Structure 1
Amino acid sequence: MHRGLSPFVLLCAIVAQACSEISTEPRGPAPAGTVTIGMASQLAFVTQALKGAVANTVISPPVRVLLRDSLGNTVAGATDSVTVVLATNPSGAILLGKVTVAAVDGVATFADLQVDRPGMAYTLAATTPSLDSATSAPFDVHVTFRSVEAGYVHSCGVTVSGAAYCWGDNSMGQLGDGAPASPWYRSSPAPVGGGLGGLGGLQFTMISAGVWHTCGVTTSGGAYCWGDNLFGQLGDGTTEGRATPTPVAGGLRFLRLSAGSRHTCGITTSGAAYCWGDNQNAQLGDGTTDRRVTPVPVKGGFTFTTLSAGHGHTCGVMPSGVALCWGDNSSGQLGGGTALDRVAYRPYPGPVVHVRGFTSVSAGNVHTCGVTTRGEAYCWGYNVWGQLGDGTTIQRSVPVRVAGRLRFTGVDAGSYFSCGVASGGQAYCWGENVDGELGDGTTVARTSPTLVAQPVAFATMRAGWYHVCALNADTGAYCWGYNGHGQLGEGSTNPRYAPAVVVQ
């Protein structure tokens, strides 16, 4: 052996070619995309596939998981079965699609994954029985609402794709998600069981949130309701509650539905009005006080353009602009004037006096509001909280002009307060404010319109019992007020005294 030379160097001298192929430098991972033949030991997500997800829509491009060796190289020929699940799941979402697939040449491709509801910072976890798991980068899932509605302690909306979502109290199944072990409330939007990606593939044009039930109209004009049905307010011929959309009996085709406290009314494609459910105050307008579990025509054969079901009364507008109301009149909410002051209820439609040219009316708890073709807002009925907006707390049996001479595109009557959107998109509310439902940052009641502390202009606004939801065409849905059941949809049960963004 030569003095001072190691056996390795001597070997290199003897086998020069072999030595030239051996490096004494440590090796690092191969460049990205390198494929090797060996044993897989770890998983890795192709993270760019998780950007811009839309709820109930296939994630595109598809989610891909790589099987890699210890140096980070994709292993050619690896065919392990890989399963993905939602690891971080802030909204209690369901991952739809084929969640277990076999890898092809070290790549597992999930071609039809969908997340069924909106949420922020979801993550996916990929696992196999024998390899180290991997977690994806956080990603958001969105929906775009075209309408929102506020009920008693729940809210709902319809997306641009026709999917229906609801959030808030679910003790009577009014969210319509149909889950067998559904929680009693959800603080962010959950898909209605008949919505896109859900049972039946129903697409909705509108939705209406009542007290303990919800109703909607599909693109074919079909009427569906779900939730509490003690009074027959679902209109399916029974008094059984439903946790998913159930068709209203009779096969009628509707343009709109309005869910009241314990009754429901709708306008058919011909403009005829039908109602069903509780009728103890004659709010169905069929001339009786008999409860109905299927739709019955409103007496008089009138044609309506809009209809609104309140607590114990109902109102609508005819093409002529004349507003008609029927049902409970205990506080003058039918607007019939002194001739009706001593009448507890009216079982058929009668005119609202003194004002013509209405474009819409909204029946609240025990008061009513409407907007005329000139944008003037009028309210009548109970006024102990100033919900008529005329600067007083005096009850009125005829319409009074809302103070401020504002011009409105729409006004909505809640329980003991009212809200409206002015022609410039400014939002105003007035009346009770115990839970911050006026949205002005306080809990002080107002007897005339007060500006909502809105971050953006609103196109529409819906007043529930103790909360409000509104919509901006660009930035989406906002809600504020009482939130003890998660009805604001912003992910908590904390009250909000100004508009808060719904998870979307």
Structure 2
Amino acid sequence: MILRNMIRLILLLLMSIISSTSFADDYIQVDASGNYTCGVKTDGSVVCWGDNRNGQAIPPEGSFTQVSGVGGNHACGVKTDGSVVCWGDNSDGQATPPEGSFTQVSAGGFFTCGLKTDSSVACWGRNEYGKPTPSSGGFTQVSVGSYHTCGVKTDGSVVCWGYNNYGKATPPEGSFTQVSAGYNYTCGVKTDGSMVCWGNYNEAIILEGSFTQISVSAGGNYICGVKTDSSVACSGSNYTPPEGSFTQVSTGDNHVCGVKTDSSVVCWGGYNTYGQATPPSVGFAHPLGSFIQVSAGDNHACGVKTDSSVACWGDNYYDQAAPLSGSFTQVSAGSFFTCGVKTDGSVACWGNNNFGTPPAGSFTQVSAGYSHTCGIKTDGSVACWGNNYYDQATPPEGSFTQVSAGYDHTCGVKIDGSVACWGGYDYGSPPEGSFTQVSVGGFFTCGVKTDGSVACWGDNSNGQATPPTGNFTQVSAGYSHACGVKTDSTVACWGDNYSGKATPPDPPKSSFIQVSAGENHTCGIKTDGNLVCWGWHVSNLWIDGTVAPLEFATIMLNGTRFSLPTLSAVSALTTTDLLPNIKFAGGISVKGGTFVKSGTLQGFTGNPVVIAGSLQVDPSQVGQTAEIIVLGVSRPTETWYMMDNTRPLVWDGNFAMLTVRQMQVALRTIQPIILYEGELVTTGQLSIYFGYRLLNDEQIIYANESIDVTTE
């Protein structure tokens, strides 16, 4: 498991360390959370982008006046009728607002508070620190931090309640116009426009000048504010704001977004791993011309152009992005290979040839999966070739109109509209009813029914099998997310939103005829024939149709290649017969700096890190299936941890119970890996080891030299 999740995170690297990115659209307010962002547009609709693991980036429909998502896993908004609605994580009741009329809402980590029209404050959610127990009296504004809340009263004074470590809930006297509660400190704007802070903060973050509004990062150690001349000032070298006039600014854990006076949104600083700093008004237009059909694979994509030729881009290690010449009617990008239907009905494939050769005959459609391919022949029968370990390449008899090959199972639509599936583990049975189209993802499947609704079944760990309501004309299931074209030609996406792959371009700006969801990115064809892609930093997927080759001991961050220190020792757990060509490299980068083997942090707050690795495998191992493993030991406690795809877990040393970072990855000669990204909420020394386990013989190969970080 570790290996596949790791390589996913590798790809997320490409979306890290952003500069300023502007989004030409009309907004009245924006709120930057830990790993996602939401904004209220001038038409009252709410748009969210970034991390969607708890559904926090899928807002409900309706007209809003304000939105808040500081908590990181849920968001709330005030509608034009005064009611509050919330979405996302509701494990502590933080997304279950009370009835009543509100003017403002503030969402924290595990609780939420709102300002009612009668000037009272109501709070809901977890109450271990008295957070939902506001002070009595009238308020004009409220702000929820990580474990405390502060509000400005009608007389201008500030009151705070909740957890009071470092005195962050003990405000000074004076008259205030606005307050912002962070993680370990709080800041406010006084009536004379000056800024004052209390709690555990560095004096260097205090900004000079006169302000109309400020925002304290809930997780980081920096502040941004709008000055009386409409410019924005921020503390911290990584958060230098762009020039221009602003009406409002909001700080996330490691990124900032602001609304300019022309109603556009601009974001800057920190990290963009989840696409939280790339709102949906921005897509990446493909430079290769006009298309009629597109298919997104694991880390490459191909499309049929209006002249019937095929163009490909992205990972080309196996020549999967080097299409054959000729005229095509349809193309399908798989994992490390691509297949297409030519105008004469034959099927041609290119890339890794370990997955079989297409049979002779005339086809109307082809679908390339992870290691097998299936196609519809002109007589309606299905033919499959390639890996058949799970019988995924053994189709049933009958006449079909469409087929879709996934990771290790296949589904097809029969001429009577029913769906038949074969191969793989039990990923659920297709529902009854009549379908027009089906799409198989990693371990789930979605289909469009004849009434236009979308039904999904199988793995739903990221919400990928919970489609939105509405009428669709087409759906595409990726590895852990899905996207579909609605009858109004807009695109809706759901499920895993790592790297922003489930955040399509803004609907009012984008009308689509077809969409294709891959493993780490998504591509769609607009009604004008132009191709737009989003997700794993797609601006790095092509440079005039090509992609920069991978090099050992390097990692790509947002288009910039960084060098990694070489790790000298290579070991194997289950064998002494080490292959000579295996190499490891890795290091830690703080705030976008150079990667080093050993780093020291002066406090974890405000010090985002990227810990990355690179491995070179032996040629005999290329194409083998493996898992990426990441282990860490914390000193002086000597506690061992294992990393899954989201967080560290305590490990007792039992390899039979080892959780992996990424699973079932076909090894390439050079394998870049993101080991960890974000802030290290720990003290002392942490030593990180990584390696891979070959599934054919359970051999574990790892770097015996660690990457070390000390937090003081």
- TM-score (normalised: structure 1): 0.45
- TM-score (normalised: structure 2): 0.33
